[in-house]
Each structure stands twice: as C-alpha cells, then as structure tokens.
Chain A
C-alpha cells in the first residue's frame, strides 16, 4: 500500500524520522518496503502489507500504529480515539440486512451538504498515494478509508429510489436501505459508468429494493454524488471477505474497497469509519447531521490470547524477561494482565491475526527485533539419517552417465499428449503431463546439435532423470539420448542395498559466462610446419590474427611426413552483437593465411 510520510506525521506530535528510516524500521519489524517515491514535498512508501495484516494495516493508521510501537513514539492523534458521537438515531432511514454476509451496516443521514472541490491538503494527500480528487464528499470517504482501513460509501440521498411503501404513515422512513443477494441477472451501472450483470452469489446494497451498489466493491451511478447533491447517506459497513473477493474477481472490478474487505476486517471498524466521516462533515463539508442507523446483530466478542515468558523463550531460543515481553505489549497498545509469568492479552478488535500464543511470540520478537535471536547449534541426535534409496540411485546414475560423456538436462513436464491433463494451462499449449521423457529429450538433442563444434564435442549425449505419468502412476524415469545411440528410457529403480551416500563431485564452476545467442561460423586451417615447431606457438599466432570474434581454436589433427608436421586447426567465429557473415570470416581467415605464410609456413 502507498503510505504518505506527511500523512503519517499527523498521527504524532512531532514529524517522524526520514522516510528512509521509516522504511528500515518497517522492513525489520513489520513489512517490507518496496520503494520510496518523492511526490511534491512528500515521500511515499510502497509498503508490502502481508495477507495476515490486511485486517488492520492497509491504512495509514495501521502503519502509524506499527511505527509508534517500533520507534517508541506515542500515537498522539489516533483516529480510533476520535471523540465523534454516532449514537444519535434517525427515523428517516431504515436498514434491513437479509444476509449473514453483512455483519454490520451503519447508515449516516446528513442533510444540506455543500459539495465542491476538496481543500488543497486533502487533494495533496490523496494524489500523493495515487488517488484522483473528485469532490469534497467522495474525497472524504476515500481519505477515511486510507486513514482507518474502513471503506465508506456516500449516496446522493435525493437520487435514491424511494419504494412505493414510503411515507405511508407520517413517521415512516424516507429511505429504506437493504443488503441482500442480487437477483440472477440483476443489472447495475456502477460509478465507472459500466454496466454489470450480477449473479445470485453477489451482495448488493438496495434502496427501495432497487440495487444502488455492489456491496464492498463499488457504488452505483444512479446515486452518485455531484454538484447538485444536497442530502447524503453515508455507508460504513462490514461485508464478508470471501464473498467480496469472489464478486470483485467475477466482475473483474477489484477496487480499494474490495481489496480491504477481502482481507476480512473487524465490524468494529465500521464505527471508526463513520466517526472519521463525521469529523469531515463537521469541519469541512458542512450540513446537518440527522442521525445514524447501526444494525449490528452479533457484535464481535472481545479477543484474548495468552502466552508465557517461558513459551516465548522456548520458541525463540532466547533469554527474554517478563519485562521485555510486557514492554512490547505496552508499545503495541495491547492491554494485558500478568500473573506468575502468564500474560493474558486483550487483543485490539482490528488485530484479527492474533489468536494463539505463537502469534504473541511473533509480536514480541518482531517488535524487539529479530537480532534478539542468536544462532544456537542444533541438539545432537543419536539417529543416523536414513539413506534415500531413490536419490542414491539417481546419484549413481548421474555419476555413471557423466563418466560416459552424457550431460544432464531438465526438460518440461508439460507435453502435447499424455494421460493426465492440466485444467488451466495459461497459454493452452502442452496441457498434458508427459508420459515419456523421450520426446522432450529428442527436441533438446536437435536443439543442441548445431552447437556441437562450439561445445567442442564429437557427439551430443544427454540424459534426464525426471517424472512421467503413465499407466495411472507417477514414475521417476532415467532417459538417455545421443546422436549415434538409440534413445532409452527406464524406470529409475531405488537402490535397496544402499547404506551410505557416496562422495560424488560437485560443480567446481566459479561463475557462469554468458554465451552469444548468435550463430557461429567454423573455419579450418591446415599448414606444414618444420620439425620441432611447437603447435602452441602456432596457435598463439593464429589467435593474435583472429581477433576477438574468434571464440575457440582447437588443434584437431596432426601428422608428420618427410620431416614436416601438418597441423590442422579449427576456428570458431561468433559475435555477441550480431550474426557474422561468411565474408567476415573469410576476411579473417585470409589475414591469418597471410600472416602464417609470412612466418614461412606452407598452407595446405
């Protein structure tokens, strides 16, 4: 999530340390930071919130809370301690929840708002984190979401459908808000002006039983806020994470709201969101607060988790004290009771990730810092490890084939045909699991053949130890292929008598050398040399003339006749930048010939 440094500063009495320091603090205590971007006078951190913390940390408040604990700076202005009161009720709005997938719905009815542009500071904050400013009301709902983690929505009350039953009696409600499953084929034009066909597994928000929003995903166009809006209904609700995720995925409409709901958030946050919005109404937007409706059938029970100091030290292998543990809970703002080494922690409602002792151990170690854990040798074991008989056999086969000049390849398990089929291959090609290693080996044999001279090989010989699926079984096979021999594939039999691993050589390569992707050209040169000529000297002089494009020179043939020795060299030319032409190679060979002749050698 994009986190603005200037935004974070507002939670504290004094500006925080630099963005770089904050990034470091978060990386080593909470979340990785992918980067810091300078935007205007602000620094924006790209914080990789882990899935277990989507409940509370996809918000500036959540990140500020973490920084407060890590850096030990009090969170002086916590929006969760907002003194706004949302207890005033209104009879003008009713809310009816027809599904267990909505755990809470708070509607706030505000009359006489003044819709207009947002103040400069609000625009700056939102734009810093990549949001577009729309108007003061919509921006306020977005600000509260990015501030607290609770998505909000504002409806233009004047445009909400008012069902036929409304105002039948003098004190009947003006607006009937509902939450229900969509009807199959129900259609809604969302705020992105696109039409969405809904299905019976999707949640909708209704007014007078007509869909006005896709719950937790996006509001509907019919009740959009614009310059003409006078009265508004604010929604701060809680929707089931799985349902929202599936709806957003099915409609290909993943929004900032849906990505928060899909993590599963506490219904307690709905109140924090509405309180945050109320602040905006009071100080920025104006209007009369008519009142609220809060439907919350089953409030979230208080959450507790307990851990002992002994357990903390057992899991971590540390020698922390009760005071160390207590210090972390205080820094995190967790209420706790301690009795003879047992900490019973009252978990804040938004921290849905904390349930068991190990969760608290993690809180302790990450806030203190993982450097508290020092390496300790594993306890000695009396058991000798078993020898894996299949691995033993595979290793023996590798050694055997390597000695015979075979090189090991890995080819893909995906194939054009086979017994078992993969249901969701992205590209749709090779959707089967291979039933033999040989087609793959034969392909890569052909691919390697043109490089034979470059590799300095007389024959390409390959092997693979790999899995196939055949006759209803998954089997490890050993396949070999070479230019001259017959391809062979046998099941790799476990070596049942193996008792101890052999010590086999590992690669001594120091580093990989990139190779050219362009074709190479082969040229031979043979010459007569007087007796006593050192072939290495001849090779050196060829090398000097051949230049950088010559990547390999091999002496491949020698014979002597009548006191002279014939030396035959094979040269390989290749460029890293382009395909060489025959003409280029011939020109270099001509240069070499001239130089060899000048040295008195006779070119054959």
Chain B
C-alpha cells in the first residue's frame, strides 16, 4: 500500500466521471443530470418499454411509494437512459432544436441480490448525439476516441447485434486497446463494454423531435464495469464499501 499523504482521495468512479467529462467536453458534449427517483414515463414508457414488459415487474425495479394521489408510482431509475428523454424534452420545450450532444453519468438501481459482479446501486454513463446527419459510424468513432483516451492507447471498437426497446438497430460494443500504457490485463484483448444503438424513432417522437428529420445514437455502459476493467478490481461491492483501504488506492 502506498505511503499516505495529507491529501485525501476521490472515489474511482468520480475520477472516471471527471475524466469522461473532460474527454467528451472536448468533443462538444454537455454534461446532463436528473433525479434518481424517476417517473415511469421517463424510465420506461418514453423509452418504448411497454407497460407489460417483464423489466417492469417487481423483481427488477424498485418502486417508490407515491407521495400524493395525483402522482403516479415512481421508480428508482433502472438506467441513465431516461436522462436522454429528460434532456431532449427540456431542450424542445425551450425551443432548442438538435444538434444535441450529451453525456449523463449517474447512479442507477436494480432490485437484485448482490454478489461480486452485481450491485443494487451502481453507475452508468449515458451518451447521446442527435442531429440531421448522425450515423452509427459516428458512434463507432466517438467510442474509439473515448476508449483510446480512457485506456491510454489506441482503441478499436467492435459492434455485435443486441436488443434494447429504445434503440434500432441495437448493439453491444467491445473494445480492444493496444499501446504500452494500456492496463496490462486489457492490452490487446476484446473486452465487452456495454450497449448502444441508434435511437428508436418513436423515442425521438416521444420527446417531440421529428424523427423524419433527425436521427441519433445513444450508449450506456456501466461505469463500475469500466472501473473494474481499468484498475483490475475483482469485486464490484468494493465501489460502495466506503472502505478507505480501497478508495485511498486511487
């Protein structure tokens, strides 16, 4: 363990968010945030997750008791994707049309048992680009640029088919980074990073955006996972342990 200094340490997730913001800010992305207790509209409906979708079952989502009768039942947000909807809706209400470029990191929740790779509370980073001329090729470049900077090398991105109700086409993306400064455990290997895709036209319409004129993409990998990869952390629960034997290593 390193010798201590008078200076304290920030959480590795905070460090990642700081780094991500610095990288994306240069590419023109605005940092957005939103509430943890979210309406079902933002968390599910507007994202094309139908009312009867299994994800809305009691097992996966934490439901928060409504505060008054007018309110509908709320949830602890299950992903940062709802922040896409919030951001786009707010911009449209202000009369600000695309192009939009946004990153939105934050805490999300899943109602499941915790183990070395699962936490009920964890972090995600949402990215979004909307415009008249946005394509999947831009997503690939953006992720390549981000991962190259984050992993301090030259990163390749590989797409695989996937499914999310709010993107079409939907993909999973893998990264392979090379270079002497890339963390040894990652170097030269394909690593699964997260999900992404072209925003479903209905989702744009749900925000009041003309899907015939505008297109966009979104991605939402887990920050805990990125941190675990970057620093070879073997147990996700350390992130939320508040244990300085862990935090003070960063």
Q: Which residues of A contact B (CB under 8 A)?
A: 27-32, 50-53, 242, 245-246, 249, 314-318, 356, 358-359, 361-362, 365-366, 370-371, 373-379, 381, 383-388, 390-391, 395, 398, 401-413, 420-426, 433, 440, 444, 447-448, 451, 454-457, 460-463, 467, 469, 472, 474, 501, 503-504, 506-507, 509-515, 551-552, 554
Tell me the bound Cα distance from A376 to B133 in angstroms: 12
Interface residue? B72 (CB, 8 A): no
Contact A317 B161 (CB under 8 A): no
Taken together as a complex, chains A and B put the C-alpha atoms of A82 and B184 apart, in Å, by: 55
Q: Given known contacts A413-B36, A422-B76, A510-B183, is B135 in contact with A315 (CB within 8 Å)?
A: yes
Q: 10 extra interchain contacts, Cβ-Cβ under 8 A, other than A370-B159, A378-B28, A422-B62? A: A29-B161, A316-B136, A403-B7, A411-B240, A413-B121, A421-B65, A423-B64, A424-B62, A507-B12, A510-B183
Decide if A53 touches B137 in the complex (CB within 8 Å): no
Within 8 A of A (CB), among B94-150: 99, 101, 107, 111-113, 121, 129, 131, 133-138, 140-142, 144
Would you list which residues of chain B between 35 and 78 have a CB under 8 Å from chain A? Answer: 35-37, 52, 54, 57-58, 61-65, 67, 73, 76
Identify which of residues 183-207 in chain B touch chain A, using a CB-to-CB cut-off of 8 Å. Answer: 183-185, 198, 200-201
User: What B residues does A365 contact at CB under 8 A?
Assistant: 136, 169
Instruction: Tell me the B residues contacting A by CB distance below 8 Å.
Output: 1, 3-4, 6-16, 18-19, 21-22, 25, 27-33, 35-37, 52, 54, 57-58, 61-65, 67, 73, 76, 99, 101, 107, 111-113, 121, 129, 131, 133-138, 140-142, 144, 157-163, 165, 168-172, 183-185, 198, 200-201, 215, 231-234, 238-240, 242-250
- Is there contact, CB below 8 Å, between B160 and A552? no
Partner of A376, one of B19, B135, B184: B135
Residue of A nearest to B31 (CB): A388
* A552 to chain B: closest residue by CB: B1
Chain B residue contacts of A356, Cβ below 8 A: 168, 201
- On whether the beta carbons of A448 and B244 are closer than 8 Å, the reply is yes
Do B168 and A362 have beta carbons less than 8 Å apart?
A: yes
Given contacts A378-B129, A395-B18, A552-B1, contact A317 B138 (CB under 8 A): yes
Contacting pair B133 A447 (CB below 8 A): no
A50/B135 in contact, CB under 8 A: no
A448: chain B residues at CB < 8 Å are 242-244
Chain A residues closer than 8 Å to B133, beta-carbon distance: 314, 379
Cross-interface CB contact of A317 among B7, B25, B136, cutoff 8 Å: B136
What is the CB-to-nearest-CB distance from A403 to chain B, in angstroms, rounded to a whole number? Answer: 6
Q: Report how far A556 CA is from B45 CA in the complex, Å.
A: 61
Measured between alpha carbons, how far is A403 from B9 in the docked complex, in Å? 9
Assuming A32-B160, A373-B137, A388-B31, is B1 touching A515 (CB within 8 A)? Answer: yes
Task: Say yes or no: B35 contacts A388, CB within 8 Å.
Answer: no
A407 CA / B3 CA spacing, docked (Å): 15
Docked pose: A351 CA to B9 CA in angstroms: 53
Closest 4 A/B residue pairs (Cβ): A317-B137, A317-B135, A456-B4, A362-B169
A534 to chain B, nearest CB (A): 18
Q: Report the nearest B residue to A311, measured CB to CB.
A: B215
> Given the known A-B contacts A358-B200, A388-B31, are A374 and B140 also in contact in the complex, defined by CB atoms under 8 Å?
yes
Q: Of B22, B27, B52, which contacts A242 at CB under 8 A?
A: B52
With A and B bound together, what is the CA distance between A366 and B198 in angstroms?
Answer: 14
Provide the residues of chain A in CB contact with B247, threshold 8 Å. Answer: 407-409
Contact A53 B163 (CB under 8 A): yes
B162 touching A50, Cβ below 8 Å: yes
Structural contact, A509 and B249, CB atoms closer than 8 A: yes
Query: Is there an interface contact between A376 and B138, defined as CB atoms closer than 8 Å?
Result: yes
| Contact in complex: A385, B233 (CB < 8 Å) | no
Q: Which residues of chain B have C-beta atoms less than 8 A from A512's C-beta?
A: 231-234, 238, 246, 249
Show 21 A/B contacts (Cβ-Cβ < 8 Å), sorted by A. A50-B161, A314-B133, A359-B168, A361-B168, A365-B169, A385-B25, A388-B31, A388-B32, A402-B7, A410-B13, A420-B37, A422-B64, A426-B112, A447-B243, A451-B244, A460-B244, A501-B22, A506-B19, A506-B22, A512-B238, A554-B3
Least distance between A226 CB and chain B CB atoms (Å)? 35
Q: How far is the CA of A447 from the CA of B37 in the complex (A)?
A: 29
A-B contact count (CB 8 A): 266
Tell me, rounded to whole Å, the shortest Cβ–Cβ distance linking A480 to chain B.
Answer: 11
Residues of A within 8 A of B21 (CB): 391, 501
Partner of B163, one of A52, A422, A509, A510: A52
Closest to B181 in A: A510
Judge whether B9 and A408 touch: CB under 8 Å: yes
Which residues of the other chain, B, contact A515 by a CB distance below 8 angstroms?
Answer: 1, 245-246
- CB of B101 within 8 A of CB of A316, answer no
Closest partner residue, chain B, to A394 (CB atom):
B14
Contact B231–A410 (Cβ < 8 Å): no
A510 contact set on B, CB distance < 8 A: 183, 231
Task: Verify B161–A30 contact, CB threshold 8 A.
Answer: yes
Return chain B residues, CB-CB under 8 Å to A28.
160-161
Q: Measured between C-beta atoms, what is the minimum distance from A65 to chain B in Å?
A: 15
| Given known contacts A391-B33, A402-B7, A422-B64, A410 and B168 CB-to-CB distance under 8 angstroms | no
- CB-nearest residue of chain A relative to B217? A315
The answer to whether A407 and B232 touch across the interface, beta carbons within 8 angstroms, is: no
A385 touching B183, Cβ below 8 Å? no
For A433, list chain B residues within 8 Å (CB).
37, 64
In the complex, chain A residues whose CB is within 8 Å of the CB of B9: 402, 407-408, 507
| Least CB separation from B9: chain A residue | A407
The answer to whether B62 and A501 have CB atoms under 8 Å apart is no
Among residues of A, the one whose C-beta sits closest to the C-beta of B183 is A511
Q: Nearest chain A CB to B227's CB is how many angstroms away?
A: 9
Interface pair A447/B246, CB less than 8 Å apart? no
In the assembled complex, the CB of A498 is this many whole angstroms from the nearest CB of chain B, namely 11
Establish whether residues B18 and A506, one from each chain, have CB atoms under 8 Å apart when the complex forms: yes
Q: Is the CB of A410 within 8 A of B170?
A: no
Complex Cα gap A384–B28 (Å): 6
A119 nearest CB across to chain B (Å): 37
Q: Are A375 and B137 in contact, with the CB atoms below 8 A? A: yes
How far apart are the CA atoms of A374 and B136 in the complex, in Å? 9
With A370-B159, A424-B58, A451-B245 as given contacts, are A405 and B6 in contact (CB-CB < 8 Å)?
yes
Q: How far is the CB of A406 from chain B (nearest CB, A)?
A: 4
Residues from chain A with a CB closer than 8 A to the CB of B244 are: 407, 409, 448, 451, 455, 457, 460, 462
**Do residues B64 and A426 form an inter-chain contact, with CB atoms below 8 A?**
no
In the bound complex, residues from chain A placing their C-beta under 8 Å from that of B76 are 413, 422
CB distance from A462 to the nearest CB of B (A): 7
Does A370 contact B4, Cβ atoms closer than 8 Å?
no
State the CA gap A406–B7 with chains docked (Å): 7
Residues of B within 8 A of A457 (CB): 4, 244
In the bound complex, how far is the Cα of B170 from the Cα of A31, in angstroms?
12
Once the chains bind, are B245 and A378 in contact (CB under 8 Å)? no
CB distance from A225 to the nearest CB of B (A): 32
Q: Which residue of B lies closest to A52 (CB)?
A: B163
CA distance A111 to B30 in the complex (A): 71
Residues in B whose Cβ lies below 8 Å from that of A406? 8
Instruction: Tell me, rounded to whole Å, the shortest Cβ–Cβ distance linking A56 to chain B.
Output: 13
Min CB distance A243 to B, Å, is: 9
Rounded to whole angstroms, the CA-CA distance of A379 and B62 in the bound complex is: 39
Task: Flag if B3 contacts A456 (CB, 8 Å).
Answer: yes
Q: Which residues of B contact A373 (CB under 8 A)?
A: 136-137, 140, 159
Bound Cα distance A387, B64 (Å):
31
In the bound complex, what is the Cα–Cα distance between A370 and B157 (angstroms)? 10
* Smallest CB separation, B49 vs chain A (Å): 10
Contact B231 A511 (CB under 8 A): yes
Known: A456-B3, A460-B244, A513-B1. A402 touches B8 (CB 8 A): yes
Q: Considering the chains assembled together, what is the distance between the CA atoms of A511 and B12 in angstroms?
A: 11
Residues of B within 8 A of A551 (CB): 1
State how many angstroms separate the Cβ of A100 from the closest Cβ of chain B.
15
Q: How far is B247's CA from A455's CA once the two chains are assembled, in angstroms? A: 11
